[in-house]
A and B are shown apart, each in its own frame.
Chain A
């Protein structure tokens, strides 16, 4: 072995760092292979249910790649460097996460909220110091220095007091007592070694030894930069999607061992009358709710785009339902919809009595059972959905309208175009890309309808509503997953719904592209 930093590949002698790197990869490969065996045979590591095959797959793939990386590193092959870089990046993130989990930081963060209030007065001290530092600028030289120093001192003292009051010292002690014990110390060691390997892999001596080109280095840098996003994507989106796809091929109930049943869930789904009913319901809902959420929003946006006093206030008011929580909005509508004491029926009653004051009129006030009548139940959901969505769509259209050149309208006016002519020939075509976006997002939201029927129907009726009138695919998915212990079946519902939404969106995209609204 050669100890200096400039190994000579041609001599066949390998520096210490290369040996260390290769050994580290070999160790990882062997350890994960052993882990694979232990999980497979349930010896030492017992994982039941769906996580078991997925854990085995992850360990197996990691092991193979680590061993390959070790081999290639030994041969000064850049592929080994790249793979080792990726593996150690993932390992550092995962081991770091497990380290924090082992010392109970995540539960502690939750508990921090209980003690954080103690530190608020000191937060005020920091704020005062910060304000003082801002105020100090512009003073005469000597005073500026004094005030700046004082403000910094105040901020440092405040910060120290804040940290002490929220429990830094006991926290530090607890952290130290936990981190030295297994498994935390093991996870920490893995994290540290992974990070050390990452730093080593990025050094110039490694670049020279492997003869890496600048393009290859760029690839490594690029991976490093996108890794947080990719890891998040894998952990919170791609990973759960993959797990869901696997679960949809099993009869997993969420608690016990899963059995692979192939496409049985999908076959049962296509013969399930409740699923058919949910699709019909959501089709009916979509045909009403989507146009009602978009067309009026466009008209409203045109009105709000006028340069009249108070328009900003109206824009904010119309946007309020979009930012108000859907639960709060639905609860209020539930009270409004009450057939016996709700305000909507009361208003109808009072309005009818008013009309009956006219001679020769003797009307009977209709008192619809908005939520409990199958004929009006889904219509009630449409109204709430439109109420919540129209504001957001309006704001998007207003933003789009801001980009329409005024000269187009001026030219149209000179040509004698009226309001409707300008709207039809200028506003609508120019807003086409915005309309596409609004249509797609509203369609996706509509097809995933869940909150409104879930909240509006409870507790008198199940989310299915009267005679299953408000049963939607997502409601059915929820019931199967969390009430009937059918995680596999629910996952299949999720994937079928995904495919339906995907196909609809794809068709819409294609048609818009063909019409020239969207460029390729």
Chain B
């Protein structure tokens, strides 16, 4: 009996010792995702940005994390990690982060507090201020200036926020990270339903410069008239989709220096009012319901979403394409969504971390990710844009690129307050207006008072 106990104790201790020799490198799930959609063999000669100098193998180990939109994208990042590890001469461990609903940011926050966060990680654009002002991400300006980095290589919207110094209020003095990619909104179209409804093809209307809000409503109503389970239009109920209507009417969430609420301006109220009218009078997926499953089931004619939804929508069983968003009273408008790779302020090797960030945002790497169809490269590069157009379906990829040039409002953090608090109030109030439980006039008189605590510091 004693021998058995000793034997068992030996096995347990031996397992513990064996654990010390376990391989602690990449434990990424390497499950193969669905086959990527057929893309051309070349990624179209994007910018030949020099990759950072290869670091002599010195045992440097870096952990990095991003939030892939699907398994296929995670596999692409894992492959990129392996090739960059060889190129940079460092030991790279890629960690695919959770989804938007699986607490990616919350997990990161907990790890930062515990000191176990990765060296390099991706953050949504709206979260940059919260992390920067608390000193948990590194100012990379000195490292960037010592390299061949140029802020102008990237879209100005994200770079404004990534180089914003909250202490001085100036841009260009600091660098909180580099944008991983960008995305815009478009309208995914069920071409079969549009043809069946006999309405004008939105793509032709857009090409002729006739794609306005009024024409949009006509198309939606025409599709909805098919009856049965068919619905004309669907969108999500987070700030992005309804924000488009506000922006396109000439309004916006904030004033020009983003220090106060601007949801009560006549233009902002007009935009929201138009959206509320659409929900009240036209065939629209009910507010708060997930429109994507209904679109994928073939029951929605037009569905507003970002480029990131493309890989999933490619699997639908009907003919689909995209068209740019309709022009509002203030003209064409869109959002520029982005997120950035940032460096953990506690990283043991800031220089290696910066080189990784720079390597992850080269045109070559961005093209590899864009090929899977999720987003648009964040580098201002005609080659990258030309290559992006070849990543089909959808055929009309130009619709997403049009969004880049049509006065897009860059998503951004709230340096002067708390973005989560602002959004929490805004979402509830906008929802109340759209569902008819609050009048537009009541909303206009109260919204900026209700959001004031978000700017309290």
A residues contacting B by CB (< 8 A) are: 100, 103-105, 107-112, 114-115, 159, 163, 166-175, 178, 253-256, 335, 338-341, 369, 371-374, 455, 458-462, 464, 466-468, 478-479, 482-485
Contacts and interface: CB of A to CB of B under 8 A. Distances in A.
**Which A-B residue pairs are the 4 nearest by beta carbons?**
A372-B288, A171-B21, A111-B22, A170-B21
A339 B27 contact: no
Given A462-B427, A467-B428, A171 B20 contact: yes
Nearest to A163: B14
B128 to A, nearest CB: 14
Given A170-B21, A466-B287, 19 more contacts: A109-B22, A111-B22, A112-B19, A112-B22, A115-B23, A163-B11, A174-B20, A175-B17, A175-B20, A175-B21, A254-B110, A335-B293, A341-B293, A372-B286, A460-B238, A464-B427, A466-B431, A467-B431, A484-B418
B52 to A, nearest CB: 28
B368 interface: no
Given A111-B27, A172-B17, A340-B229, A254 B22 contact: no
Contacts of B24: 104, 107-108, 110-111
Given A464-B424, A466-B431, A163 B18 contact: yes
Interface in B344-394: none
Contacts of A373: 288, 435
A108 B19 contact: yes
A512 B49 CA distance: 76
A112 B15 contact: yes
Contact of B23 (A111, A340, A341): A111
Contacts, number: 163
Given A111-B23, A115-B23, A466-B431, A338 B134 contact: no
A341 B299 contact: yes
Given A178-B20, A256-B134, A466-B431, A369 B14 contact: no
Contacts of B27: 110-111, 114
Contacts of A253: 134
Contacts of A371: 288-289
Contact of A254 (B109, B428, B431): B109
Contacts of B16: 100, 105, 109
Contact of A483 (B237, B286, B420): B420
Contacts of A174: 20-21
22 contacts: A100-B16, A107-B24, A108-B20, A108-B24, A111-B27, A115-B23, A163-B15, A163-B18, A172-B21, A178-B20, A254-B110, A338-B290, A340-B294, A372-B237, A372-B288, A372-B289, A373-B288, A458-B101, A459-B100, A459-B236, A467-B428, A485-B134
A483 B105 contact: yes
B156 interface: no
Interface string B288-305: 111001100101000000
Nearest to A468: B428
A363 B136 CA distance: 60
B197 interface: no
Contact of A105 (B19, B113, B285, B294): B19
B411 interface: no
Contacts of A114: 22-23, 27
A254 B18 CA distance: 35
A171 B19 contact: yes
Nearest to B297: A341
Given A110-B27, A460-B288, A340 B231 contact: yes
Contact of A168 (B14, B109, B110): B14
Contacts of A460: 236-238, 288-290
B87 interface: no
Nearest to B130: A485
B134 A255 contact: yes
Contact of B22 (A115, A169, A369, A464): A115
B445 to A, nearest CB: 18
B204 interface: no
Given A174-B21, A372-B289, A458-B101, A466 B134 contact: no
Interface in B1-58: 11, 14-24, 27
Contacts of B15: 112, 163, 166
